[in-house]
Amino acid sequence: MRVIAETNTDGGTTLLLAGTLNGACVPDIEAALAAARRIAAPIALDFSRVRLIDRPMLRYLADAIGDGVRAVNCPEHVARWIRRESHGGAAL
């Protein structure tokens, strides 16, 4: 799993997620989100290079999306899964 932070032209941050995402990756993504939040600009998670996501990680990501993080390049089947797992019906 890799997380690559990219600054957008609008000042926001996109975190490019790559590889297999599992519950053990939560601390790394949490640290990347915390660093991006310190900038106080919009944050997006880019799913274009994700190969596999397990349920604990998906629940964590659903909570992040429910807290205002945007999902981009998210396959529709993953977006449906996130909506099902989210407590508030996260909008993607």
CA dist., res. 37 & res. 53, Å (int): 23
At 6, is the pLDDT very low, low, confident or very high (cuts 50, 70, 90)?
confident
3-state secondary structure 30-87: HHHHHHHHHCCCCEEEEEEEEEEECHHHHHHHHHHHHCCCEEECCCHHHHHHHHHHCC
**What would the pLDDT profile of 8-40 be if each residue is shown by its tens digit?**
877 889 999 999 999 999 999 999 999 999 987
2-85 adopts what CATH topology?
Transcription Regulator spoIIAA (3.30.750)
At 41, is the pLDDT very low, low, confident or very high (cuts 50, 70, 90)?
confident
Q: What's the whole-model pTM score?
A: 0.85
Q: Are 54 and 19 in contact (CB under 8 A)?
A: no
What integer is the mean pLDDT of 31-57?
A: 93
Per-chain mean pLDDT for the chain: 89
